[in-house]
């Protein structure tokens, strides 16, 4: 590496902060403390597809919004204004492992009544790179969950284009609780 290359690299990396090494999945404390179920039965029920995949261009950001989701919700999701309740790290995992981990992660989040998730999938420099393959599958898999209302690229401090925010539908329990809370106010 010549001195000019090193200088350019150091200039480009000056505002980069190192990520703390952590477990693959990080759960924030939740008010809802249901017991965790084993993953063995879930793996049998995993409906996430593999097979042929058209890779997403690197320049195309991950984004999805179900019909009926309000634009305000999407804007808040994009700007990272929802608190992160759980996250999963899929970096350097084989695609099948990512598929199983994601399925278990989303199902557990649904059981726990969580709504706002972060998924770290990594950044590739080439379209054929492993992180872009995982990212492309992730774009397909997340839409296969009825509970996923929207997802988009995370802010730089949460992983940037190597991560995404995911908004899950409110559980029936949370919807009822919300209805009761608002009904008490209007009386």
Bridge partners of 163, per DSSP, are: 120
Tens of pLDDT, residues 125-144: 999 999 999 999 999 999 99
- Chain centroid to Cα 35, Å, comes to 22
Average pLDDT over residues 63-68: 94
The average confidence (pLDDT) of the chain is: 84
Residue 33 is predicted with a pLDDT of: 41
β-bridge mates for residue 63, sequence order: 152
In which band, very low, low, confident or very high, does the pLDDT at 178 lie, cut at 50, 70 and 90?
Answer: confident
Which residue in this structure is represented by tokens 């029936």? 172
pLDDT digits (tens, 9 = 90+) for 7-20: 777 777 777 665 55
- Domains present along the chain, CATH in parentheses: 40-186 (3.30.1370.110)
Q: For 29-42, what is each residue's pLDDT tens digit?
A: 544 444 344 444 55
Q: Residue 133: helix, strand or coil by DSSP?
A: helix
CA distance 19 to 46: 31
Distance CA 145, CA 47 (A): 9
**Nearest partner of 133 among 160, 98, 108, 83, judged by Cα:** 98
| Tens digit of each residue's pLDDT (9 = 90 or more) over 68-77 | 999 999 999 9
């Amino acid at each position: 590496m010549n001195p000019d290359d090193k200088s350019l690299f150091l200039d480009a990396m000056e505002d980069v902060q190192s990520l703390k090494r952590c477990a693959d999945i990080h759960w924030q404390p939740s008010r809802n403390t249901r017991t965790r179920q084993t993953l063995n039965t879930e793996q049998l029920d995993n409906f996430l597809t593999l097979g042929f995949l058209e890779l997403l261009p690197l320049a195309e950001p991950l984004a999805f919004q179900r019909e009926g989701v309000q634009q305000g919700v999407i804007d808040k999701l994009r700007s990272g204004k929802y608190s992160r309740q759980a996250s999963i790290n899929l970096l350097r995992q084989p695609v099948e492992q990512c598929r199983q981990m994601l399925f278990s992660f989303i199902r557990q989040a649904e059981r726990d009544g969580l709504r706002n998730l972060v998924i770290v999938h990594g950044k590739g420099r080439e379209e054929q790179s492993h992180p872009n393959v995982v990212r492309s599958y992730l774009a397909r898999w997340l839409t296969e969950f009825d509970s996923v209302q929207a997802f988009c690229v995370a802010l730089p401090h949460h992983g940037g284009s190597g991560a995404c925010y995911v908004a899950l539908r409110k559980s029936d329990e949370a919807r009822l609780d919300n209805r009761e809370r608002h009904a008490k106010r209007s009386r």
